[in-house]
Copies of this chain bind each other. A is one copy, B any other.
Amino acid sequence: MEEKEISQAVIGRLPRYFRYLGELKDEGIERVSSQELSDIMKVTASQIRQDLNNFGGFGQQGYGYNVEFLYQEIGKILGLNHRHNLIIIGAGNLGQALANYVNFERRGFLFRGIFDKNPKLYGQKIRDMTIQPMEGMEEFVRQNDIDIAVLTIPKTEAEQMARRLVGYGIKGIWNFAHVDLSLPEGVQVENVHLSDSLMKLSYNINRFTMSN
C-alpha cells in the first residue's frame, strides 16, 4: 500500500479520537456525525474530517461515522491489534508506578519484565514481575519478544542504555529520562518529559496572572 507521510501532529491526535470513540461505544452509541464528535472533542468538524481523511476517510455522507468501525480502524492504525511486550529499565518510584499501571494492558501493552542495577532490589516483586539485574536483559529481550523498553533511569545513563537496547532488537523506546535521545533511524522514541510539561504549566499560569 502506498502511504503518504502523516504528520506527528495528526498522529498525536489519534489516541484522543480513539479514547472518545471508546467512550461513545461504551455508552452504546452506534453512529456519530463529525459535528457531534466536534462538539464533544472541542476541535472543529473540518479538522476531524481532515485528520481522518489521511487514512481514507471512514465517514459516509449523510450518515456520519460508525462508532464501532471507526474505533476498530483507528485502533488498527495505532497498531493496537498487535500485542506489545514491554520491559521497564529502572525500578525506582516511577518505574514501579508504571509497572503497577494495569490500564495499559487493556490496550495490548504488556509489561513483561523490570530491570535495575541496584542489587538491593533484585528479587523484589512488582505484580507478577521480579526485579532483575541488568545482566540478564539481552537474553530476556530476545526470548520474550520484547519490542518496547521504558526508560526510567537518570538522564546520564539513558542514551547508552537506549543504544544497548537497540542492539538487542528493541523497536521503540518510551523515554522518561530528561534528555533527548539520539538513536539510529528506525528506532522509535516517544518522550515523556515531565519537567517540560510542568514548566509549560508554569508559563501558562504566569502569563495568565500577568495579563489579568
Contact = CB atoms under 8 A, between A and B. Distances in A.
A60 interface: no
A208 B101 contact: no
Contacts of A19: 178, 195-196
Interface stretch (A65-73, A160-168, A185-193): A185-193
Interface in A47-81: 77-80
A103 interface: yes
Q: Is the interface of A mostly helix, strand, loop or mixed?
A: helix
A22 to B, nearest CB: 10
A11 interface: yes
Please give me the 7 A-B residue pairs with the lowest Cβ-Cβ distance, nearest first: A79-B206, A15-B196, A93-B97, A190-B201, A97-B97, A188-B204, A15-B199
Interface of A: 3, 8, 11-12, 14-16, 18-19, 41-42, 77-80, 82, 84, 92-94, 96-98, 100-101, 103-104, 107, 109, 147-148, 171-172, 174, 178, 180, 182, 186, 188-190, 192-212
